[in-house]
Amino acid sequence: MSEWREFSRLPGSPEYWLDLRQRIGGEAGPVLAGRKARERWLDRALAGGVLAAAASVALLLAQPSPGTPDVTIQAGLIPADPLARELLQSGAAPPVGVLLASYSAEPVP
Amino acid sequence: MGPGSSRTASTEGPSLASDEALVRLARKGEARAFDELVERYLRGALAVALEYARDRDDAEDIVQDAFIRTLRELHRFDDRLSFRPWFYTILRNLGRNAAERRGRQTELEAVGDVVSNPGSGDAAADAELRGLIEQELAGMSAQQAASFRLCEIEGFSALEVGDMLGVAPATVRTHAHRARLKLREVLSSRGYRSPE
């Protein structure tokens, strides 16, 4: 050890350092308590958020399936129109005569 | 590792956690983690604060303010960086503020009335030697005197003192070396045997 150390300005007593630590710890106490409380609040908020999200997902999964909509609705046609139904459900294209007949059968305003 | 980061005097034993790990815990309000940081840095903090302070009471106030400010600002600390230079920057700023409030001309000034540890041997001769050393240090540049005190007298490493003073370790070594040479010269010219 250097002999220069004999000229230290720092106290050598362990009690001095303990007192100073306690003094600083006392001042820090309220700040630390505030941080702890905020941390707890954040933890709770996070847990609440996770629970809410899980509940939302469960609710969505529990919704009944809407089922397959009517083909005429899917095509944007009138569901009650028999021609539209036949047209959409037929495997082959309808003959032009059918379409014309249907057209001419419509009431003239 | 110098005395500034010593981990002695703990009633529960030293922790092996890094400073940054302790910072993360202290940020969450863990008192033990903060106490550990205080223990690690208390000696170094007081040594630096004495460079700015009028007396030891004044230095203790600066140290306390620095730790509390550090605690309040922990959320701003970037975990990827080293805690030590960050802490000492806060401490130096508070030291400068305290020195300015007192209207001191120089921020790093020798403090003659805070020498605490009586050396061995004749008390009068010790006091005279201390006075002479303080007088010589007061005549040096602030950085030079602080580098010498912190490295040679207080036993901190150049790396630690670099962080304490906010300069490169190589600069600290140079300052301390030059100060040592000057002091040896003065002491030998006055008939004193210079400490090693």
pLDDT tens figures, A42-56: 888 888 888 899 989
Q: Is B158 exposed, middle or buried, given 0-12, 13-18 or 19+ CB atoms closer than 10 A? A: buried
Residues of A in contact with B67 (CB under 8 A): 24, 27-28
Q: Give all domains of chain B, ordered by start, each with its CATH number.
A: 1-107 (1.10.1740.10), 119-196 (1.10.10.10)
Asked whether residue B90 carries a pLDDT value surpassing 70, the answer given is yes
The DSSP call for residue A10 is: S
Span of A15-19, A94-98, B152-156 with lowest mean pLDDT: A94-98
DSSP codes joined into one string, B74-143: GGG--TTS-HHHHHHHHHHHHHHHHHHHTT-S-SS---TT------SS-HHHHHHHHHHHHHHHHHS-HH
Mean pLDDT on B45-63: 94
Asked whether the beta carbons of B75 and B27 are under 8 A apart, the reply is: yes
* Cross-chain Cβ contact A10/B130 below 8 Å: no
CB-based contacts of B6, cutoff 8 Å, min separation 6: B40, B43
Q: pLDDT tier at A89 (50, 70, 90 boundaries)?
A: confident
Nearest-5° Cα angle at B116, B12 to B92? 70
Distance from chain centroid for Cα B188: 27
CA-based nearest distance A45→chain B, Å? 15
pTM (2 d.p.): 0.69
Q: Is the minimum CB–CB distance between A41 and chain B shorter than 8 Å?
A: no
How does DSSP classify residue A51? H
Contacting residues of A for B9, CB less than 8 Å apart: 14, 17-18
- Closest to B117 (Cβ–Cβ): which among A8, A18, A33? A8
What band does A108 get if pLDDT is binned at 50, 70 and 90? Answer: low
Nearest by CB to B116, from A1, A9, A35: name it: A9
CB-CB contact of B102 with B54 (8 Å): yes
Q: Do A28 and B47 touch (CB under 8 A)?
A: no
Angle of helix B31-52 relative to helix B83-101, nearest 10 degrees? 50
Which of B6, B151, B154 is the mutation pick for testing A, counting most A CBs within 10 A? B154
CA B189 to chain CA centroid, nearest Å: 29
The tokens for B69 are 């400010």
Q: Which amino acid is at B89?
A: T
Closest-CA distance of chain B to residue A51, Å: 23
- Domain spans in chain A, listed from the N-terminal domain onward: 1-63, 69-109
